[in-house]
């Protein structure tokens, strides 16, 4: 394949990726966006394999078979509840790939056309150093995010005295080591840079609490994009540079949007914690406060006689895999004349769009699903707000308690509905470790139990 033809095909693939991002911006066009993304990737892979510089098709085929088999196995076994940690794990692999490619380029630069060992082009060394730093931070940061989401380590912020000073020192050390790598081209500088970046990735994510995990996943997505962009410069592949820049910039923009939706500083999220063990312990004690409890029959009666119902899904719905039973319940309510809509908070779940994915899996109509800013005003005129597994994003303390760690975060105003039905396993606090004041409101009825089973029992009462 000629160089001009390859460049033309890479351009087409780049356009496909841009159209994919555009399509994924809306649920109605998401399927076409996925098709554009798959078409672009197919063009990119075939074009790359057709380039004259390919050394061993056998090794490439072996990698495709092994990777494809692992990917297929994971895809068939993964539950939707584990999607956030799966995404975090994928991000870690992109970061690790960036480190490996940079190491290969450092030890065999002639294979990449960037010089010979000991005499590598300075610009290539800068690209290599940045690629290693971003890739290593992405790798260990994503591993920590995976461990927190999987419950292997505590979701609470793990903080210690002087952590910000240590992170700042490591950041300065990264810059110094990149300069040392460019000027001295020593293996010691390369691996010291890698080690410092790996440590910084750990220390950046460990202090971040569970409530900020959606933003962290989005930021790690951005990091993985910039890591891929760095690989593109090392390999001299324009398409990889463009693709990495698209992923990196879109992930950064999404992170900013989510932080804005939480009334949070993006630097506060990346450098600080959210909630503490002490706050969580204090929030966990209900004292003499009482709550109203009800049954599935009570909930069915209230919703059957309601003219409007707003459903607020959260991570509890995902854990219970209740989206299909919930959709069946909503269909019955609509048959009985109720207007049913869904309210989605920007950070509901454990990754951006988590609730949207689950509702789409259950074939919930897109025109019934609304974001916070589009539906919040409707709660005041709603008969029933049905909260299923959403906790922190419905907590009125975010508006009323300046001492609360979630104070200032925009929430769904479910407390303004005439009746709030809250499906939850127990009185435990949410992922932020903050007790939900909504539990104790006069218009709230707690429905304790598994979310899926509760929806199924409500369906039986409605049917």
Instruction: Categorise residue 249: left if φ over 0, alpha if ψ from -120 to 50, beta otherwise.
Output: alpha
Nearest residue to 242 via CA among 49, 16, 24:
16
Instruction: Provide the token pair at 82.
Output: 């584990």
Picking from 260, 280, 283, the residue whose alpha carbon sits closest to that of residue 209 is 280
Asked if 313 and 412 count as a contact pair (C-beta separation under 8 A), the reply is no
Helix, strand or coil, per DSSP, at residue 123: helix
d(CA 299, CA 447): 8
Comparing C-alpha atoms, which of 297, 291, 311, 320 is closest to residue 439? Answer: 291
User: Which residues fall within 8 angstroms of residue 316, CB to CB, at 6 or more apart?
Assistant: 322, 388, 389, 390, 391, 423, 424, 425, 451
How far apart, in whole angstroms, are the C-alpha atoms of residue 358 and residue 323?
6
* 343: enclosing H helix or E strand: strand 339-344
- Torsion sign, CA atoms 421, 427, 430, 431: negative
Q: Are the CB atoms for 251 and 353 separated by under 8 Å? A: no
Q: How many CB atoms are closer than 10 A to CB 91?
A: 27
CA distance 254 to 238: 24
Measured distance CA(191)–CA(193) in Å, rounded: 5
Helix/strand/coil (H/E/C) assignment for every residue in 296-317:
HHHHHHHHHCCCEEEEEECHHH
Going by C-alpha positions, the residue among 105, 56, 53, 46 that lies closest to residue 233 is 105
The token pair at 318 is 């995902």
Instruction: Point out the catalytic residue in the list 392, 401, 413, 450.
Output: 392
**Catalytic: 374?**
no
**What per-residue string of b and e applies to 263-295 under the rule 16 or more CB within 10 Å gives b?**
ebebeebbebbbbbeebbeebeeeeeeeeeebb
Distance CA 260, CA 247 (A): 20
Q: Structure tokens of 184?
A: 């001295």
Contacts of residue 219, Cβ cutoff 8 Å, sequence gap at least 6:
251, 252, 255, 266, 269, 270
Q: Residues with catalytic annotation?
A: 392
């Amino acid at each position: 394949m000629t160089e001009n033809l390859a460049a033309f095909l890479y351009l087409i693939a780049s356009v496909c990726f841009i159209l994919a991002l555009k399509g994924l911006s809306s649920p109605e066009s998401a399927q076409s966006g996925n098709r554009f993304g798959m078409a672009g990737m197919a063009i990119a892979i075939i074009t790359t394999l057709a380039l004259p510089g390919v050394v061993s098709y056998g090794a490439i085929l072996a990698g495709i078979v092994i990777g494809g088999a692992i990917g297929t196995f994971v895809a068939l076994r993964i539950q939707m509840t584990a999607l956030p940690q799966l995404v975090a794990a994928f991000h870690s692999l992109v970061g690790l790939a960036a480190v490996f490619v940079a190491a290969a380029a450092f030890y065999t630069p002639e294979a990449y056309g960037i010089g010979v060992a000991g005499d590598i082009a300075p610009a290539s060394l800068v690209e290599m150093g940045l690629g290693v730093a971003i890739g290593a931070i992405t790798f260990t940061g994503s591993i920590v995010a995976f461990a927190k989401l999987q419950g292997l380590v505590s979701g609470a912020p793990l903080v210690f005295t002087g952590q910000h000073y240590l992170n700042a020192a490591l950041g300065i050390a990264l810059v110094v080591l990149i300069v040392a790598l460019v000027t001295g081209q020593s293996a010691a500088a390369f691996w010291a840079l890698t080690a410092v970046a790996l440590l910084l990735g750990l220390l950046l994510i460990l202090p971040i609490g569970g409530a900020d995990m959606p933003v962290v996943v989005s930021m790690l997505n951005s990091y993985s994009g910039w890591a891929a962009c760095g690989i593109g410069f090392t390999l001299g592949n324009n398409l990889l540079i463009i693709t990495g820049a698209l992923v990196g910039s879109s992930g950064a923009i999404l992170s900013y949007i989510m932080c804005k939706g939480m009334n949070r500083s993006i630097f506060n999220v990346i450098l600080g914690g959210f909630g503490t063990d002490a706050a969580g312990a204090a929030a966990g004690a209900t004292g003499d406060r009482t709550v109203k409890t009800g049954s599935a029959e009570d909930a069915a009666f209230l919703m059957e006689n309601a003219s409007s119902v707003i459903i607020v899904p959260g991570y509890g719905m995902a854990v219970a895999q209740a989206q299909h039973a919930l959709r069946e319940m909503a269909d019955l309510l609509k048959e009985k004349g109720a207007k049913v809509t869904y309210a989605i908070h920007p950070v509901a779940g454990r990754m951006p769009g988590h609730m949207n994915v689950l509702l789409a899996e259950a074939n919930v109509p897109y025109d019934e699903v609304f974001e916070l800013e589009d539906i919040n005003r409707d709660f005041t005129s709603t008969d029933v707000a049905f909260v299923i597994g959403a906790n922190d994003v419905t907590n009125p303390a975010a508006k009323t308690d300046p001492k609360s760690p979630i104070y200032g975060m925009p929430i769904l105003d479910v407390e303004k509905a005439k009746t709030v039905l809250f499906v939850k396993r127990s009185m435990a606090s949410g992922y932020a470790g903050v007790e939900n004041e909504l539990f104790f409101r006069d218009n709230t009825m707690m429905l304790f139990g598994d979310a899926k089973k509760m929806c199924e029992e409500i369906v039986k009462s409605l049917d």
